[in-house]
Amino acid sequence: MTAGLIWLAAVDKNIFTALGAMIGTAVTAVGTISAWQNRRHDRRQQLLDKAVEKLVTAVALEMKAEEKLRRLQDPWPLRVRWVNTRRPIADHWQAIHGVPERDHAIDLSGKLEDVAAVLGKVPSQRLVVLGEPGSGKTILSLCLVLGLLDRRKPQHPVPVRIPVSSWDPVDVGLREWMAGWLSENYRHLAVKAPSGDTLAQELVAAGQILPVLDGLDEIPQPSRLTALVKLNRESSRGDPLVLTCRAQEYEEVVTAPTGDVLTAAAVVELCPLDPHHLDDYLRVTTPQARVAKWDPVLQNITGHPDGPVAHRLCPLR
């Protein structure tokens, strides 16, 4: 073979010269294309990084404004707690762990200030939070977003609270809805990326959003079931996700004849408020001059923890 080449070279050196030139040109062309592609990729990444940075600031500002409006730090938030649900409506622990041999349950009980850390304990990062009406699910999702933003590293997805009431799952897919909602609420994400998609669509497709979907119960049944089906179809165990819902309504969706659990998701339930904590809290949040006026009501909460006043103020009691 080598002898053959030497012979060929001897016959016509020009063939090799031409061949060399052609290869050189091809290599240069490939190099140019790949440099152009790299630049394009860098430009796209820069655009997305900037969009993420702006989104983080906007979400943090928005959540802090709501925290202020709801006077959650005045003087402090109520001690909302939760425990793992006892209802058979979570996925199997093996699915949550993502390892067939691992089936041990993880204790996810916690209190409001630990909510981001509790999500961190779920291997799949997929969690459903259930509670009675008024038990604090929306406030918990606000605290979760703030907690996640606090611990967020640059490569982490951005937590965004999205009300499920803005979704018509019958006509619109999960990703399309999320991207549309993001574009409407954070205008800088409505801008088109070089691909022709909006930045919101790009962020959703790239898994850079951690959706905290608040209030599945706020859409009517049977749309809830469709929503759950689409959540399972359009997201998988690798996609972090938080969903809140009223407990009874969620159980009905999951246990319906065609119902299903949210894939790889653990489920916790908010606990009823402790009447003594509530009494203390209401006293501290009532101006001193008015405490005496409220005293009979406040005493009723602790004096009759199973009575109608406590029942009304401490959901589930």
Ligand X SMILES: Nc1ncnc2c1ncn2[C@@H]1O[C@H](COP(=O)(O)OP(=O)(O)O)[C@@H](O)[C@H]1O
Binding-site size, ligand X (CB under 6 A):
14
Q: Rounded distance, CA 179 to CA 240, Å?
A: 16
135 binds, among Mg ion, ligand X, none (CB under 5 to 8 A by kind): ligand X
Give the nearer residue to ligand X in terms of CB position, either 124 or 135.
Answer: 135
> What residues between 51 and 90 interact with ligand X by CB under 6 A?
70, 72, 77-78, 80
**Closer Cβ to ligand X, 52 or 116, answer by number:** 116
Query: Which residue, 34 or 73, is less far from ligand X as judged by CB?
Result: 73
Strands 110-111 and 81-84: antiparallel
**Binding status of residue 185 toward ligand X by CB under 6 A:** no
Q: How far is the CB of 164 from Mg ion (least distance, A)?
A: 10
3-state helix, strand, coil in the chain (%, to 5): 55, 10, 30
Least Cβ distance, residue 155 to ligand X (angstroms): 30
CB burial class (10 A; 0-12, 13-18, 19+) of residue 148? buried
37 neighbors 112 (Cβ within 8 angstroms): no
- List the one residue out of 209, 235, 191 whose CA is nearest residue 55: 209
- Specify the residue, 133 or 207, whose C-beta has the smaller distance to Mg ion: 133
Half-sphere exposure of 32 (CA within 13 A, CB side): 6
> How wide is the angle at C-alpha 109 spanned by C-alphas 77 and 121, nearest 5°?
105
What distance in Å separates the CA atoms of residue 221 and residue 219, rounded to the nearest whole number? Answer: 7
Contact residues: Mg ion, CB under 5 A: 137-138, 215
**55 CA to centre of own chain:** 14
Q: If contact means CB under 5 to 8 A according to the sort of partner, which of ligand X, Mg ion, none does residue 147 touch?
A: none
What residue 85 binds from Mg ion, ligand X, none (CB within 5 to 8 A, per partner kind)?
none
- Residue 186's contacts (CB-CB under 8 Å, 6 or more residues apart) are 54, 55, 58, 59, 200
Question: Shortest approach of ligand X to residue 133 CB, angstroms?
Answer: 5
212 binds ligand X (CB under 6 A): no
Which partner from the list ligand X, Mg ion, none does 77 bind, CB cut-off 5 to 8 Å by kind? ligand X
Residue 110 engages ligand X in binding (rule: CB under 6 A): no
Pick from Mg ion, ligand X, none: which does 78 bind, CB < 5 to 8 A by kind?
Answer: ligand X
Nearer to Mg ion, 96 or 130 (CB): 130
Residues within the interface to ligand X (CB under 6 A) = 70, 72, 77-78, 80, 112, 131, 133-139
